[in-house]
């Protein structure tokens, strides 16, 4: 599972750079990483990825916490 985590992390970083933090592909990858963390019992990390995905879907800018203008 460590290899899967590394792959998801690289994918998430690449998608954030290429498409931004609110792109659906970026958010899907964050959600997948959240599921992996949950399956590994890493609940704090899972919660962080869950919040990242949900904030992006709700329009809250993940770096500032401010909604879309």
CA distance 3 to 17: 21
Residue 67 has pLDDT above 80, yes or no: no
- What pTM did the predictor assign? 0.77
Residue 69 has pLDDT above 90, yes or no: no
Closest by CA to 27, choosing from 45, 15, 39, 41, is 15
Give pLDDT, residue 52: 86
For the chain, what are the domain ranges? 1-60
pLDDT digits (tens, 9 = 90+) for 13-64: 999 999 998 899 999 999 999 999 999 999 999 999 999 888 887 775 555 5
Residue 68 has pLDDT above 70, yes or no: no
Residue 65 has pLDDT above 70, yes or no: no
């Amino acid at each position: 599972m460590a290899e899967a985590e590394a792959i998801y992390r690289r994918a998430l970083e690449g998608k954030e750079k290429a498409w931004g933090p609110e792109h659906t592909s970026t958010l899907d990858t964050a959600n997948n990483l959240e599921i992996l963390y949950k399956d590994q019992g890493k609940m704090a990390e899972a919660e962080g990825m869950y919040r990242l995905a949900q904030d992006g879907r709700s329009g809250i800018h993940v770096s500032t916490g401010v909604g879309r203008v």
